[in-house]
Chain A
Amino acid sequence: MAGVVDGVAIEAEGLSKRYGDLEAVRDLSFTVGKGEIVGFLGPNGAGKTTTMRMLTGFLPATDGSAAIAGHDIFADPLNARRAIGYLPETPPLYPEMTVQAYLDFVAKLKDVARGERAQAVSRALDRCGLSDVRRRVIGDLSKGFRQRVGLAQAIVHDPPVLILDEPTVGLDPIQIREIRGLIAELAAPDQGAARHTVILSTHILPEVEAICERIILINRGRKALDQPLSELIAGGQSLEEVFTRATSLDESLDDAPGLATASEAAAAGEEAAP
């Protein structure tokens, strides 16, 4: 664990989200320390995206509260959002814009000061390896490049907290490796810059092993596990075993599809792993 945890970046307290009768997330509490890289794990439909959307302020929570870098997401939403870089499951791109114009637009939205905007955009382009395609129209880019533009969008205002929803989904193995490298670099920059706190969701287990320091496993909207990865591995169990056991704890029949998806995902992840 390289993380020097000296403060809390994300604090969630009893977060719940109900859609009518459906309880997508139920009483979820966790804290993420500054500079930590946390893997948000769970089968499809477990509530990962909903939780992330609540943290970023896209969806209001039905119950509970959360704070980002000390700013409550309800009482002080603008400052909380300013502290977040968010890559949604589908990168929020305008296909008709050029990469550079798009990042400039996002920088304006995120309150990057006018004098620093050009620099912020070129730094984001640089870090995401987009400098060569800066003048290309986003709609013409390959999926891998679009994912990178999505990531550049999330870091353009240099936020202390990064929330990434399945950053590598749908990419080929080489692209996956590149994006992972990028995330790892953001979390531990070499020039002594501030470490970003990263929380990323995935159902690809090797991805967690490759970059995360801690995992929070959620299943059917509830937290099933919250442990540093090193402890889990030291316990001599593979992540897949942990995952399978945690997701089948309340064994009812309707868990079966979730399990199938999870092991499929694990298999897909292993294939894709470098």
Chain B
Amino acid sequence: MNHTLAIAGRELGSLFVSPVAYVVLTLWSVLAGTFFLSSLIGFDTQIAQASQYGAQEFLAQMNLNDHLITPFFGSMWIVLLFLVPAVTMGLFANEKANGTDELLYTSPIRVWEIVIGKFLAGFAFVGIMTLIVAFFPAILFIYGEPEVGKTAAGLLGLLLVSMSYVGVGALASSLTRNQLIAFVITMVSLLVIGLMLPFIVEVGLGGDSGGGGIGIGPTMRYISTGTHFETLMSGVVDTADLAYFAIVIGVCMVISKSALESVRWR
């Protein structure tokens, strides 16, 4: 445990010494501000139009959660696909490039302690990113009355999605000594599991949205992170979705560990 925390702490410290952390956090904050503002303006316009045409039913359905916060979280999720790879690319690749892996593997520590330490550092970083995003809905609580539970579930969803992306990124980083390669592998994988799969489901398979069943449609739907994120954003915290994220993270950890070990046993 001490080893794990030492490794996580050092990794986090190094991230914040490098420009990468600041570039990522700056971009993230600026984009969060921009998307929040555009969601807010969009919300405002919808209300203005609805009241102009006297669409009372529509007005009654309008609420801050479904028409402002959820679209905002959805936009930030897309940003994650591009920023998380930058955070995770160095996790393992850097150690190999620096030759510091030789220090880690000749110290009296186990490989899983290294792996968990690296994952924890990544989790802490995306935790900070989630907090930045949480700041914006918090403003809404001053001026309006969004649902606390739904907002919190959406934030939890964003955090879990980020954490599973950290897993994918760490796995990619464990495969190579080149940060750029790790970055590209991660981004391509995230685009596939994040955007391509739901797209294939919706368009290619004729919107097979029926829950359950066995087949390509439901399977792809299950694999894509978007599905589970959407459930959480709708305010439903289902153990099935939590299990999904736990499985993704767990599988990434196990494969990373084997990848790190297999290089030396070859």
Contacts and interface: CB of A to CB of B under 8 A. Distances in A.
Given A78-B108, A108-B2, A109-B107, A58 B14 contact: no
Contacts of A79: 108
5 nearest interchain CB pairs? A92-B103, A108-B6, A109-B107, A78-B108, A56-B106
A19 B266 CA distance: 7
B29 interface: no
Interface in A78-99: 78-79, 81-82, 84, 86, 88, 90-97
Interface of B: 2-3, 6-7, 10, 13-14, 17-18, 98-110, 264-266
A92 B97 CA distance: 10
B13 to A, nearest CB: 8
A70 interface: no
A60 interface: yes
B106 A81 contact: yes
Nearest to B264: A59
Nearest to B109: A109
Nearest to A110: B107
B177 to A, nearest CB: 13
Contacts of B108: 77-79, 81-82, 109-111
Contacts of A65: none
Contacts of B99: 88, 90-92
Nearest to B15: A96
Contacts of A19: 266
Interface centre among B7, B101, B106 (most CB of A within 10 A): B106
Contacts of B18: 96
A208 to B, nearest CB: 24
Contacts of B98: 92-95
A263 B42 CA distance: 77
A96 B94 CA distance: 12
